[in-house]
Structure 1
Amino acid sequence: MVVGFRGFCVVAAIAFLLVFEDWVSTPSCKLVPSANPFLQFQVGEEGDDLKVMMVSDLLLLGSDAGFPNRFFTDYYMSKFFRKSFESLRPDLLLVLGDVSAKGSELTKSKWMSVLQQFYKVLGPFAGLPFHAVLGDRDIGECSDLDASKVDWITHKLPGLDSSGCAAFEIGNITFVSLNTVALLCRNNSLRFDVEKVIERESLELRVETEGATKTLNDSTNFRDADYNSFGRESSMLPGSGPVLLLHLPLDQTRNELDDLPLDQTSNEHDGGNDAYKKSLTSFIEGLNVEPKNRELIGSGIYEMLHTLPINASEYILQALKPRIIFSAHRYAFSDHIHRDRTREITVPAMSWNARDDPAFVIATFQKTGRGVSISYCSLARESYILLLYVSIMVFFCFVCCV
């Protein structure tokens, strides 16, 4: 009887562990309200919209990782990606930097071990279109930013040019990613290469929008209008550019939501600006947990700015007129409105090396309009899983002693 009872308890414990692991690996997602209700849209069931999974700060250690880190990273991170793929069915995966915890210090062989670990944890996403942005921990700070090493890393990741930037289009949605780390480095050649990319994309955007405006003017009898003034003032509007992907966020020293007057229709729809700001602030505060100090993660003292300086931020906003911005680096989620009404989403870290409660973002883009729907997706806390394993071990010890 005792042996039978012990066997039953062991089987029950293993079954419970398997069910629990499956449950905690499934993300829990909730919609984030938009500051602009006219750009918020209801995600349809037809599958015509583009669904993008955005993760950041995986902080992989490759061959330098110890067994506990390897187990939790490789095993659970793989389960997180697999369950997210199965439950959400995204069309594209974007990684917004810091794939490696200390990539700037690694030799090429050790970097290869990080990349092998990266592709291993991606699982089913390895066959899906994906793009990775370079982070500060991948390529280093300005003092050790090396153009030849950046070029080597970019050849191992899809779509990046030698400066660590890219422009691509999927499902009629245009994306531009920038190496924001290089923009902090005053005299580094990579900074000038990134600025050239910004100018090139700005020129292409201007040519596109001015061409569309000229066609519109011709078709509506505006032939005698001053095209230069009309086209430049009317067509190059905020939000008319690409989806912008960054690692470092733009300057956010002010909460520009306070400066944005809503029209009468919007006030009636939302119950007033104050009510909206209160609900949005409450929602975001509920998502965030104070992250660990960045100095304790990886190696070395962290000295970089946590955002781009204001002049670089204004330069990017003016040149690219982004439809929406996605950034990372801070480990916590935020939803910020810049003074030109451009929305910037900061994607939380998807790593227990950064925070106890990893998370990611699902962005759904409306192909036939400008709408973007944002969902915050949370994953299991490391402390909960560790508590479970400790409880199972105590349970087995108890059963063996009975």
Structure 2
Amino acid sequence: MERAFQTALWLLEPEVVFILGDVFDEGKWSSPQAWADDVERFQKMFRHPSHVQLKVVAGNHDIGFHYEMTTYKVKRFKKVFNPERLFSWKGVNFVMVSSVALEGDRCALCSEEEAELLAVSRSRLAPVRRRRRHYPLYRRSDADCAGDDAAPPEEKRTPFQERYDVLSREASQKLLWWLRPRLVLSGHTHSGCEVLHAGGPPELSVPSFSWRNRNNPSFIMVT
């Protein structure tokens, strides 16, 4: 993975790199020392020149699923990666969403997440918006997904579980209402997906960049 990232960085010369969660395999269970070791390893593998911006959102392997998520885990993730809620680059606004906290049960971390997203929705943003988060918006399965990195045919029709494989219908609709994105980028499923939501924006689920998750790891370039 280190060689692949460094080669892509050298060859393609991106200005901004987004990692859509699950930075670590076992971050949700890591002891303080194991976490520190993993952070050091990440910083070595994903080192980059100072002029390249690296933006990271949290995934369930970093802070746990909703029932495992704690203030401690969220704070230590933020301390390392300092995730921004709203990031603007060359006239394009990117909204970073912590999808693990969109359970809808009014937990403290969930309420904080929703309040911040509402504040963004009420601000005066440029009309071009791209939203990045870990979980995909609600979809029944990958049956309607297209693209070279889509799930294999035998897996495409496996039903997705709300709040585990994808966001709930309610959370998905809220995000579309609040943010009115032009494009949605997500991860989590390990497979690529290009899907157009009814009456909404296109969504690209980015395939995993890890050989651990698929035998043809990949990434996407956005211009």
TM range (shorter): 0.7 to 0.9
Q: Which residue of 1 aligns with 2:158?
A: none
Which of residues 332, 341, 352 in structure 1 aligns to 2:191?
332
Q: Is the 8 A contact 1:252 1:336 kept in 2?
A: no
Q: Which residue of 2 aligns with 1:110?
A: 34
Q: Does 1:175 align with 2:99?
A: no
Q: Is the 8 A contact 1:332 1:346 kept in 2?
A: yes
Q: Does 1:312 align with 2:199?
A: no
- Judged with a 3 Å threshold, the aligned counterparts in structure 2 of structure 1 residues 101 and 304 are, in CA distance, closer, same or farther, namely farther
Mapped to 1, the partners of 2:169 and 2:151 lie a distance apart of: 26
Task: Describe the SS at the equivalent of 2:131.
Answer: strand
Task: Describe the SS at the equivalent of 2:28.
Answer: helix
Q: Is the 8 A contact 2:24 2:62 kept in 1?
A: yes
Mapped to 1, the partners of 2:54 and 2:119 lie a distance apart of: 23
- Judged with a 3 Å threshold, the aligned counterparts in structure 2 of structure 1 residues 309 and 303 are, in CA distance, closer, same or farther, namely closer
Which runs of 5 or more residues in structure 1 are unaligned? Answer: 1-76, 161-165, 210-239, 258-279, 294-301, 365-402
More deviation, 143-152/353-362: 143-152
Q: Which residue of 2 aligns with 1:92?
A: 16
C-alpha distance after superposition, 1:15-37 (max 9, x if no partner): xxxxxxxxxxxxxxxxxxxxxxx
Matches within 5 A, 1:3-402: 77-124=1-48, 128-160=52-84, 166-184=85-103, 186-205=105-124, 240=127, 242-253=129-140, 281=146, 284=147, 286-290=148-152, 305-364=164-223
Which runs of 5 or more residues in structure 2 are unaligned? Answer: 156-160
Offset at residue 122 of structure 1 (A): 1.2
Q: Is the 8 A contact 2:210 2:217 kept in 1?
A: yes
Mapped to 1, the partners of 2:119 and 2:5 lie a distance apart of: 35
Task: Describe the SS at the equivalent of 1:329.
Answer: coil
Mapped to 1, the partners of 2:138 and 2:128 lie a distance apart of: 19
Q: Is the 8 A contact 1:251 1:307 kept in 2?
A: yes
Offset at residue 126 of structure 1 (A): 6.5
Task: Describe the SS at the equivalent of 2:172.
Answer: helix
Mapped to 2, the partners of 1:334 and 1:138 lie a distance apart of: 23
Mapped to 1, the partners of 2:141 and 2:48 lie a distance apart of: 40
Mapped to 2, the partners of 1:126 and 1:349 lie a distance apart of: 25
Mapped to 2, the partners of 1:143 and 1:288 lie a distance apart of: 29
Q: Is the 8 A contact 2:104 2:171 kept in 1?
A: no
Whichever structure has more helix as a proportion of its residues is 1
C-alpha distance after superposition, 1:25-59 (max 9, x if no partner): xxxxxxxxxxxxxxxxxxxxxxxxxxxxxxxxxxx
Mapped to 1, the partners of 2:53 and 2:130 lie a distance apart of: 16
Task: Describe the SS at the equivalent of 1:359.
Answer: coil
C-alpha distance after superposition, 1:127-171 (max 9, x if no partner): 5211100001100122221013211210110334xxxxx111122
Q: Is the 8 A contact 1:242 1:322 kept in 2?
A: yes
Q: Which residue of 2 aligns with 1:60?
A: none
Offset at residue 356 of structure 1 (A): 1.2
- Equivalences, count: 216
- Judged with a 3 Å threshold, the aligned counterparts in structure 2 of structure 1 residues 168 and 356 are, in CA distance, closer, same or farther, namely same
- Judged with a 3 Å threshold, the aligned counterparts in structure 2 of structure 1 residues 254 and 187 are, in CA distance, closer, same or farther, namely same
C-alpha distance after superposition, 1:85-135 (max 9, x if no partner): 122111100000000111010012211111111111113356521110000
Mapped to 1, the partners of 2:35 and 2:6 lie a distance apart of: 24
Mapped to 1, the partners of 2:122 and 2:162 lie a distance apart of: 34
Q: Which amino acid aligns with 1:243?
A: R
Mapped to 1, the partners of 2:197 and 2:49 lie a distance apart of: 32
